[in-house]
Amino acid sequence: MGTRTILRVIVHDGDIRKITLNEKPQTLESLVEQLEGKLGLQYKFCLQYEDPDFNNALVNLADIADLPEQPTIKILSLVPTPTPSTADTETMSISSPESRSSLTRSPWPDNFEIPSFPVDIEYRLRQANLLYMRDKKYLQVPRYMKHEILEKLAESIYSFKAYPCDEEYLDIATALIQKHPCLAEPGSSNGCNGWKNSVKFKMGNYRTKLRRAGCNDVAINEGKRKGQAPQRPFKRPKRFEVNFLPNLPDGEDETSMESKITELVEEMKKRSPNATLLNKNMDSTFALRRREFVTLEPPVKDIMERWPALFAESQVF
């Protein structure tokens, strides 16, 4: 039996807890499991810890042996998760793995709004902006600060789309230095090329985290890597699509979806199908239907047999 371990755990900015583990975890996986149980977390996450070798700056935890005594650990959800202050307002708040991509996305905005960053980051930016207005002095952004800014931007971007285009990345970087002029890059042609590239790179990492967590919206493109042949044609939303490949709704699985499909087929056999029931079941089976269409690419004949309600008047118009 290992010794008892005391942790300071940052769940999010407004929730910092003291956690006591009866047994010292011997592996990183064991620590994650114990934290899931103690905190009741229902989503995938990774861990960072305050490293005394770097002035207690946060560092990704890759080996349990790196943890100091009575460490401070920060939980980073692999997808945005609800907090008491934001669960009712943030579109991207997700409570379970099954709902990672079943949320409703918004169309890309005409003017991208830069989200609020953690309190300490916002404070430093506010002071740096004042210094810039007075002395035209740019902020030398520390590594941990840049990480927090990019992480928050990636979460906000994903609430609109998983694969922004080059022009949209430029819009984001431009909006960032307009809101926080201290972040502009002296010597850059537009003051934000470096930020544009950083955001683009961060979104690639963010999609990787989502892919590992089982998010269908990006997992469909797994295997498309430099030097590797893609497993399938690259899939991403068309301009008119918002939800491209959502996960199944909470509490649903393929078995429950199949029962609704059977109900749809039986309803379509009636002389006067119930339009309300058709619409309801078609909406609830959207995720499974999209998965079949995108991954299997069935012929139209098979679609008409399995999804006859898709060709009903209420669905066409």
- In this structure, the dihedral spanned by the alpha carbons of residues 18, 24, 27 and 33, taken in order and rounded to 10 degrees, is -50
Question: Which CATH number is 42's domain given?
Answer: 3.10.20.90
179 and 103 in one domain?
Answer: yes
List strand residue ranges (DSSP E) for 35-116, in order.
45-51, 57-60, 72-77
123 and 208 in one domain?
Answer: yes
Closest CA to 268 of 256, 255, 279: 279
SS3 3: coil
Residue 179 located in a structural domain: yes
104 and 213 in one domain?
Answer: yes
59 and 127 in one domain?
Answer: no
Residue 88 located in a structural domain: no
Amino acid at 87: A
Closest CA to 124 of 99, 104, 141, 100: 141
Backbone φ and ψ for 110, nearest 5 degrees, come out as -65, -40
User: How much is the pLDDT for 161?
Assistant: 83
Q: Give the whole-number percent of the chain exceeding pLDDT 70.
A: 78
pLDDT of 240-288, one tens digit each? 455 566 677 777 777 778 888 888 788 777 777 777 777 777 777 777 7
Residue 51 located in a structural domain: yes
Outline where 87-183 has alpha helix (H): 119-135, 143-158, 166-179
176 and 264 in one domain?
Answer: no
209 and 161 in one domain?
Answer: yes
Please identify, among 31, 48, 77, the residue that sits at the C-terminal boundary of a domain. 77
Looking at the structure of the chain, the number of domains it has is 3
Q: Per-residue pLDDT averaged across 149-174, rounded?
A: 90
Q: Give the whole-number percent of the chain exceeding pLDDT 90.
A: 15
131 vs 238: which has the higher pLDDT: 131
Residue 239 located in a structural domain: no
Residue 240 located in a structural domain: no
User: How much is the pLDDT for 114?
Assistant: 93
Is residue 103's pLDDT more than 60?
Answer: no
20 and 126 in one domain?
Answer: no
202 and 117 in one domain?
Answer: yes
User: How much is the pLDDT for 256?
Assistant: 79
Q: Are 77 and 43 in contact (CB under 8 A)?
A: yes
Q: Take residue 35 and report the two structure tokens written for it.
A: 């934290």
Residue 36: which domain range?
A: 5-77
214 and 263 in one domain?
Answer: no
230 vs 8: which has the higher pLDDT: 8
259 and 303 in one domain?
Answer: yes
